[in-house]
Amino acid sequence: MNQQPGRTSLIDRVAELVPDDMVQKLIGPRGDFTAASQCPVRDVLDRLGDAWSFLVVLRLSEGPQRFNALKRSVGGVSQRMLTVTLRSLERDGLVERRVFPTTPPQVEYSLSELGHSLVGPMAELTRWASANHDAVRGARARYDALPG
Amino acid sequence: MNQQPGRTSLIDRVAELVPDDMVQKLIGPRGDFTAASQCPVRDVLDRLGDAWSFLVVLRLSEGPQRFNALKRSVGGVSQRMLTVTLRSLERDGLVERRVFPTTPPQVEYSLSELGHSLVGPMAELTRWASANHDAVRGARARYDALPG
DNA sequence: CAGTATCCTCCTCGATACTG
DNA sequence: CAGTATCGAGGAGGATACTG
């Protein structure tokens, strides 16, 4: 990791939080992570980037919910996308799905242990978003007001 | 935030990290955040979700870099996408762009204060990704191996 | 070197309709 | 209730060529 001499680098602070081999795997010596599955960060962000996954996990962090209740509480999500999102989260081991063979059928979704462990980091990012949203919007407004 | 009685809820732990009004803004009473700009988390994730932004910010956390050096170190990014990504980050006030009118021209990109403040939360998520990548891949393999 | 411009192709995602 | 199936529009993003 070539460091510019005489320049205060944030990578040192990051290194305190992040083990070396992870940095290697993350931004690597060459950064050849065209295949997302090879890069853990890409892999996670591919999941969280699609808006719904993040909101669904946060909703489920409140407690188990059934399909339509979840659909209502998330809001604005189509039936198809909620199904796709839940399947994807289930496949990744973040969400558990339990079917009660009643009539009409009931399906309950809840976070797994792994899913719970993700909520902390998510909250961290969420806090940043909340705290700095105005700053970002301000920067945007200034940028857009620029001549040219 | 209706809580299921008699159920251990993670929202309490999240609440320790996240101020109440943010939770309201985030997953809200109705969750009507169809417009991403209304929801700070959506707004942030829209930026980070696109893989390149996250990697670019991490790369720049090591120190300022010029366009082509950045392109090489990120790896796999097209010229167009790097330009688009950098413009977007600059617009949001996360990245600063300085032009040196030499021949040939030099352009240096660096993180702003705001950009630096994002690296901590990003590292948190990165750590989670690194620590649990195998668990996720394992869960995926099990899910895919299921009959049906 | 550091872009811009154009084209073109997947691939996501919403809408709609149907089912156990 | 909790899905699945199918279609179609739109946008993200790569490839390529050109420029101050």
Looking at the structure, tell me whether residues B126 and B103 fall in a common domain.
yes
Give a yes or no: residue A31 inside a domain: yes
Segment (H or E) for B117: helix B113-145
The residue written with tokens 């990578």 in the block is A11
Say whether both A74 and A132 belong to one domain: yes
In a domain, B86, yes or no: yes
What is the domain count for chain B? 2
Query: Looking at the predicted structure, is the pLDDT value of residue A27 above 80?
Result: no
Distance B79 CA to C6 C1' (A): 15
Nucleotide at minimal C1' distance from the A50 CA? C12
pLDDT for the residue numbered B48: 75
Q: In the prediction, which pLDDT does B2 show?
A: 31
Instruction: With H, G, I as helix, E, B as strand and everything else as coil, classify residue A66.
Output: strand
Average pLDDT of the residues in A41-46: 76
* B3 assigned to some structural domain: no
Does residue A21 sit in the same domain as residue A82?
Answer: no
Same domain for B63 and B101, yes or no, is: yes
CB B98 within 8 A of CB B111: no
- Does B142 or B27 have the greater pLDDT score? B142
At B51 the pLDDT is 72
Q: Are residues B88 and B35 in the same domain?
A: no
pLDDT at B12: 46
Q: Is residue A32 in some structural domain?
A: yes
Q: What is the CATH number of the domain that holds B58?
A: 1.10.10.10
Indicate if CB(B78) is under 7 A from strand C: no
Is A1 within a domain? no
Same domain, B92 and B131: yes
Of the two residues A115 and B54, the one the predictor is more confident about is A115
Q: Are residues B76 and B118 in the same domain?
A: yes
**Pair (A14, A85) in one structural domain:** no
- Helix axis angle for A40-48 and A20-27, nearest 10°, is 70
Residue linked to tokens 């980050």: B89
List strand D contacts in B 51-110 (CB < 7 A). 51, 77-81, 84, 104-105
pTM of the model: 0.82
pLDDT (0 to 100) of residue B26 = 53
In a domain, residue A61? The reply is: yes
Tell me the pLDDT band of B145, cut-offs 50, 70 and 90: very high
A80 versus B27: which is more confidently predicted?
Answer: A80
A82 plus A134 within the same structural domain: yes
Q: Work out the pLDDT band at B11, boundaries 50, 70, 90.
A: very low
Residue B93 has pLDDT above 90, yes or no: yes
Q: Please tell me which residue lies nearest to nucleotide D15, judged from CA to C1'.
A: B78
C1' (C5) to CA (B37) span, angstroms: 29
B109 belongs to a structural domain: yes
Beta bridge partners of A98: A108
pLDDT tens, residue by residue, A67-121 = 999 999 888 889 999 999 999 999 999 999 999 999 999 999 999 999 999 999 8
Whether residue B83 sits in one domain with residue B40: no
Residue B66 has pLDDT above 50, yes or no: yes
Q: Do the Cβ atoms of A3 and B63 come closer than 8 Å?
A: yes
Structure confidence at residue B143 as a pLDDT band (50, 70, 90): very high
Residue B134 has pLDDT above 80, yes or no: yes
Do B19 and B40 belong to one domain?
yes
Q: Is residue A82 part of a domain?
A: yes
Task: Give the range of the structural domain holding residue B35, as residue numbers without chain letter.
Answer: 9-46
Q: How much is the pLDDT for B124?
A: 86
Q: Suggest the residue from B87, B125, B142, B143 to mutate for an interface test with chain A (most A CBs closer than 10 A).
A: B125
Question: Which residue in this structure is represented by tokens 């799905």?
Answer: A97
**In chain A, alpha helices (H):** 11-17, 20-27, 40-48, 52-60, 67-74, 79-91, 113-145
Contacts of B74 (CB under 8 A, 6+ apart): A31, B52, B55, B56, B59, B82
Nucleotide closest in space to B109 (CA vs C1'): C2
